Amino acid sequence: TQLLEQSPQFLSIQEGENLTVYCNSSSVFSSLQWYRQEPGEGPVLLVTVVTGGEVKKLKRLTFQFGDARKDSSLHITAAQPGDTGLYLCAGARGGGGNKLTFGTGTQLKVEL
Amino acid sequence: GAGVSQSPSNKVTEKGKDVELRCDPISGHTALYWYRQSLGQGLEFLIYFQGNSAPDKSGLPSDRFSAERTGGSVSTLTIQRTQQEDSAVYLCASSLGSVDTGELFFGEGSRLTVL
The Cα A35–Cα A87 span in angstroms is 6
Q: Which of B2, B89, B75, B1 is nearest to B33 (CA)?
A: B75
3-state secondary structure of A62: strand
Report the CATH number that the domain containing residue A75 is assigned in CATH: 2.60.40.10
Q: Which residues of B touch A (CB under 8 A)?
A: 4, 33, 35, 40-45, 48, 50, 56, 59, 91, 93, 97-109
Chain B residue at shortest CA distance from A5: B42
Q: Which of B37, B27, B9 is nearest to A37 (CA)?
A: B37
Per-residue pLDDT for B66 more than 80? yes
Q: DSSP letters of chain A?
A: ----EEE-SEEEEETT--EEEEEE-SS--SEEEEEEE-TTS--EEEEEE-STT-EEEETTEEEEE-TTSSEEEEEESS--GGG-EEEEEEEE--TT--PPEE---EEEEEE-
Q: Is A39 on the interface with B (CB under 8 A)?
A: no
B37 — phi, psi (to 5°)? -135, 120
Per-residue pLDDT for B100 more than 80? no
Mean per-residue pLDDT for B77-103?
A: 89
Interface test with B, best of A29, A99, A107 (most B CBs within 10 A): A99
Query: Would you mind telling me the total number of residues written for chain B in this entry?
Result: 115
Domains and CATH numbers, chain B: 5-96+105-114 (2.60.40.10)
The per-residue pLDDT for A2 is: 55
The per-residue pLDDT for A93 is: 81
The per-residue pLDDT for A88 is: 96
Tell me the residue type at B4. Answer: V
Digit-coded pLDDT (tens) for B18-56: 999 999 999 989 899 999 998 878 899 999 998 888 899
Query: For chain A, how many structural domains are there in total?
Result: 1
Per-residue pLDDT for B1 more than 80? no
Low-confidence ranges of chain A (pLDDT < 50): none
Q: Which domain holds residue A67?
A: 5-111
B104 and A104 in contact by Cβ < 8 A?
no
B59 and A101 in contact by Cβ < 8 A?
no
The per-residue pLDDT for B2 is: 81
